[in-house]
Amino acid sequence: MAETMLGYLEMIGGNEDDSDETMTSMTLGGYPRRLAICKHRMLKLGRNEKECDLVVQDPAISSIHCVFWAILFDEESSPMCYVKDCSLNGTYMNGTLLKRNSAYLLQDGDLISLHDRVGKVFRFSGLGQAVNPQIIEQMGVQRRVNDWEVTSRVIGNGTFGHVLVAYKNVGERTSLTVQHSPENYAVKIIKLKPNKLDKEAKILLKLNHLMTAKHYQSASHVL
């Protein structure tokens, strides 16, 4: 069964000026410069030769340093690719440290580096990702709601509404603490009467199950 590639990592070795022609024609350490991120298959980077798709022999790199995977709900949905840091020394996205064991949604052009002193840099490219920077304005939604900032990154849509990516407490990070890339949360934008919204929110807040998405907060009158 042929694998469905939904995105890929491009090894640029820390040099962003590499041309596309150079990247496709060369290899890095015996590996192709482009590593496919496919549906239903985990892409693993690290030192473990038996487990990893790309092996980096450096003491600063963990056995399984970070993993990538892709999700496509149906043919009408946009593919979503994720990265998760599993390491002791850290994985960086666009120069900012990722929080360990937290999943981050990738977007075109994101740069992933394995530890800050290992010269392996990967540029992510998504296939078929639809981006609409004006969707917040078109929907008439507030970008900032309490401690949350809603982004234009769509991860789902349908008759129920839209699901976008949001960040929490973006204004509370200080230089006195380790700077992590903000964790991703899903925010569901729906149009319901206030009484129906409150009822659904109270039910969701009480749910606590491994197979159910955790509900953190609800807000009305944001449209």
Q: Which residues does the annotation place in the binding site for ATP? A: 188
Residues 37-52 as b/e (b if ≥16 CB within 10 A, e otherwise) read bbeeeebbbbbeeeeb
Six-digit token pair at 36? 């496919």
Cβ atoms 103, 184 nearer than 8 A:
yes
Q: How many whole angstroms separate alpha carbon 87 and alpha carbon 220?
A: 39
Q: Which among 133, 134, 96 has a CA at the least distance from the CA of 104?
A: 96
Q: How many whole angstroms separate alpha carbon 135 and alpha carbon 22?
A: 36
Q: How many whole angstroms separate alpha carbon 131 and alpha carbon 155?
A: 10
User: Per DSSP, what are the bridge partners of residue 46?
Assistant: 55
Q: What are the binding residues?
A: 188
